[in-house]
Amino acid sequence: MDNDMYALALKNTLNEIKNVCPDVSHSFIFKENQEILTKDENTDERTIKKTAIAFSAITEMAEIGEAESVTFQGTNGRVNITHFNDFYLTTVASNEADEKALTSLTRVLVPTMLKLTPKIFPSQDHFKENKLKQQPETPDNPEPYLPDPIVSQFKVENFGLGGVLGSTIAIRIDRALIAQWNELYGDNKIEEAIIEETATGKSLRCKFKLIKESKYEAKGIIQMSEGAQRALKIQKGAEVLVKPVIKNQNDNDISSDDSEPEAEESTSNTEEVEVYRAPESYLPDPLVSQFMVENLKGFGFLGSPDTVRIDPAVIQQWNELYEDKKIEELIIEDTVTGTTLRCKFKPIKDSKFEDKGIIQIPEKVQLTLQTRKGALVVIKPVIE
């Protein structure tokens, strides 16, 4: 995994943390070997080095197992260092900072980015090759700067009911990739993607939807209809590259392969490229939601002891977004341990817990999930 890719994704994440918590004065990420991965503008490298040295003095002698997090609370603010994989995220905040919000962000947002980035960019070689192919920006280009389109590699999976979709060209891609695109390209429209077959170089341009089946999420998979697979002359299991077609405010495409944006067909330097357009519409999916655990007390005979209770508003949102899909179960993930559990759910009965970002979980389920009251969990619907 290329550090540049991490750095870009993580720098944006740090900026988001600052946007949400303006009382954060410094934020940066360093590696175990004290190498700086990314940092904000307020922090110089010397400060990061000093922080890394002070922290390593603790970890070298930590008798408490591998240190996952340490918070130094001072009279005027606090320093928190949180360990994810090989990375150490440091945030420095004043006492006015919302501790809960900051903890949620640092323990959810950054680990999620770190977890997803390698899956979104599994082949760095392809990324480098495609970067070389991209046309350089003209120096007098008046358009605002946009990062180069990201190229990601995915494995093809079928979708649709066999021949029912016939020759329809439809693709579904990972929501994390969409989130990444939105993060990188801001307000620029991304309604289409270009799928390129890695062996032949054939490509297909079409609108996309998000993967709905959770079992395919974060697995480096792209779902393609039979029609789309036929267009690229590929089958399930093939590897393809996916890149966004970015439209700026003037609706000009800036994808690397689209120097002539309105062309139905274009030609690259080495291979003939066929470009198809499929008239599919984009439907947004809800993001994974985060909640704080609250005990669910009651009697087993009044209901299943394995059923959790969530905010009715969340259920309503799921129903609106997934319309005709049945959602009877959800997946809960403890944000610290990463333990996941699939279980049934019902709406919260007690109105005092509504709209509070709370999930009520029976103690038995808490034990299975290795979580407890006050801990943060993320949930996502299981769509059948």
Partner 1 sequence: MTIVKRKRAISETSTTIILDVSGATEAEEARNAIDLLATLQEIRKSDKVIAFILRSATRATVYLRDDEEISKYAILSTQLFDSSEQLLELFDLGDTENILIEGKNIKALCINLGEKTLSIFMERNADHTEILNRILPPTE
Report the interface residues with partner 1, using CB under 8 A.
25-26, 47, 50-51, 54-55, 57-58, 61-79, 92, 372
- Residue 79 CB, shortest distance to partner 1, in Å, is 5
List residues bridging with 344 in a β-sheet. 329
Nearer to partner 1, 76 or 141 (CB): 76
Looking at the Cβ atoms of 69 and 123, the one nearer to partner 1 is 69
Min separation Cβ 94 and partner 1, Å: 8
The neighbouring-strand residues paired with 312 are: none
CB of 89 to partner 1, least distance (A): 14
Contact 282, 209 (CB under 8 A): yes
Local structure of residue 253 (DSSP, 8 states):
B
Contact criterion met (CB below 8 Å) for 105 and 21? yes
* Closer by beta carbon to partner 1, 229 or else 371: 371
Cβ burial 299-331 (10 Å sphere, 16+ → b, else e): eeeeeeeebbbbbeebbeebeebbeeeeeebbb
CB of 27 to partner 1, least distance (A): 12
Nearest to 306 by CA among 359, 364, 347: 364
Shortest Cβ 65–partner 1 spacing (Å): 4
Nearer to partner 1, 12 or 94 (CB): 94
> In the complex, what is the shortest distance from the CB of residue 291 to partner 1, in angstroms, rounded to a whole number?
19
Q: At what angle do helices 3-20 and 175-185 cross, to 10 degrees?
A: 70
Of 43 and 289, CB closest to partner 1: 43
Q: Are strands 289-295 and 376-383 parallel, antiparallel or unpaired?
A: antiparallel
Residue 134: helix, strand or coil by DSSP?
Answer: coil
Find out whether 381 and 315 touch, Cβ atoms under 8 Å. no
Q: Of 93 and 173, which has the nearer Cβ to partner 1?
A: 93
Identity of the residue, 19 or 76, whose beta carbon is nearer to partner 1 in the bound complex: 76
To the nearest whole angstrom, how small is the minimum distance from the Cβ of residue 52 to partner 1?
Answer: 11
Per the structure block, which two tokens stand in for 95? 């006492």
- Name residue 90's beta-bridge partners: 28, 81
